[in-house]
Amino acid sequence: MSKVRTISLPDESCLHARVAEGDFIDCYAVASSLTPRKAAETIVDFPGWARFLLVIRRIVVAPFGLSNDGPDAPDKLGPFPVETETDEEVIAGFNDRHLDFRVSVFATGEQVSLATWVHPHNLGGRLYLRTILPFHIAIARNALLRVAKVG
């Protein structure tokens, strides 16, 4: 089985244009020959334990008016509207009341990376990010293990 590695955001990623001081960004990679779209579809096909965590999130954030399913869009990957798609990268995500976020799935033919960028708007966004971070890391790393298994 391929090992998930922590890497820097690929130099060619369009996500670089969003990153500013104070933002959160992480990036993980795994050996895979999948296209960005196929990898992204695999990533959002969450296993049962991750879907359970998303249900808990939905319940906890409901009183705060945070989005659960993302805005309507003609092209979505799970709840995430696709913002940009090239031969090497798919970027999806949206802006919410507490933070803006995007995920990038970047594929070179030998490696797939999954990066997450978050720009918190306020204290609530920073607290939210700090709270979900351990779950985010587990879900992202598991997603790339599933990508490696598929291709």
Question: CATH no. for residue 120?
Answer: 3.30.530
Predicted confidence band of residue 67 (pLDDT cuts 50, 70, 90): low
Task: Give the chain as a 3 state SS string.
Answer: CCCCEECCCCCCCHHHHHCCCCCEEEEEEEECCCCHHHHHHHHCCCCHHHHHHHHHHHHHHHHHCCCCCCCCCCCEECCEEEEEECCCEEEEEEECCCEEEEEEEEECCCEEEEEEEEEECCHHHHHHHHHHHHHHHHHHHHHHHHHHHHC
For residue 66, pLDDT over 70 is answered with: no
What pLDDT is attached to residue 109?
86
**112-140 tens-digit pLDDT:** 999 999 999 999 899 989 998 999 999 99
Q: Is 90 exposed, middle or buried (0-12, 13-18, 19+ CB in 10 A)?
A: buried
For residue 1, pLDDT over 60 is answered with: no
| 73-77, 101-105, 143-147: segment of lowest average pLDDT | 73-77
**Euclidean distance between the first and the last CA atom of the chain, given in angstroms as a whole number:** 11
The range of the structural domain enclosing residue 18 comes to 5-150
Predicted confidence band of residue 65 (pLDDT cuts 50, 70, 90): low
Predicted confidence band of residue 101 (pLDDT cuts 50, 70, 90): very high
What is the mean pLDDT of the segment spanning 61-88?
81
Contact status, residue 79 vs residue 46, Cβ threshold 8 Å: no
Q: Tell if the pTM clears 0.85, that is, is over it.
A: yes
Q: How many independent structural domains does the chain possess?
A: 1
What pLDDT is attached to residue 71?
67
